[in-house]
Structure 1
Amino acid sequence: MITLTTSRDPSQRTRSFAKVISRYMNWYYLQRGKLSMEDLFEKSDRIVLIREIKGNPAFLDLYTGDKKSVTMRINVGTIKKEKMDDSPVYFAGRPPFDPVILGAMPKIDAGEKLARKLNLRKIVYVRKDGKLVFTFDGKEVLTVKLLGVYEG
């Protein structure tokens, strides 16, 4: 299970983004409060931390164990609160990272066949301009511009 949290004193926009993306990706959302990073690692082995710049969500840091494995520089566009289920997430297109690290279906031939067969409700469209459009039942829930992906 992946746990999502924010930096210590997040803005309302960052909290809204965190709640929507955690519901969408089937992650556990944990309000950080005064918890240290060590306390977070005791609760989960995979953590996604949202950092912000000037009150806007700007970075997604994925920690595996106690070390950072991937950092994604993002620019968040639209955020719409929708009721969602726990169905799997599928990335349509070629993201510049492996979607499995985020808990999504693998981007292999078998995953694509399964996605077509199951008629999935949660599909993330990866555009060539770097935008990720998160949809649920064909409705746009979230738009994120991916500005960079950094390993380690």
Structure 2
Amino acid sequence: MKERIEQERAWFRSFQQLIFGIVGVLLTVVFPVISWTGHLFWGIVYIGLALVPVNVMYMRRSRMRQALNPPLAHRYRQQLWSDCFNTIAFFIALNGRELFESNEWYIVGIVVIGVAGWMTMRIEKRMKEEDVWRPTYEQLRG
């Protein structure tokens, strides 16, 4: 159990550093370029590219958790798909009418965001019900 806690903490620290780096580059490089050029295209491209390492981190977490708790492998795979689906929803929500100009894409984006949120909540609930390592989640928060 101690090994799992340490690996979860290490993953969480790495993920925080990644997000901090992405936000830092967004604030120091991308926002000035957007204000200088006058349109959101480069910001949208940056967000799209920045979401790739975020999904790689999600895949690393999924593999780590599958190795530590094989009975829940199917739930971890579902959670990974949900994370990737959330990334697509996030990208569609942020496109700012720059890449997708039709109203149909906005309807699709709203549906994707709704389904992604619902999937995430459902999978998270089922995983917490089935996970024998549940106390470790409370220890990670504390």
TM range (shorter): under 0.3
TM-score by length of 1: 0.26
* Bigger share in strand: 1
TM-score by length of 2: 0.27
Name the structure, 1 or 2, with higher relative contact order (CA <8 Å, separation 6+): 2
* Bigger share in helix: 2
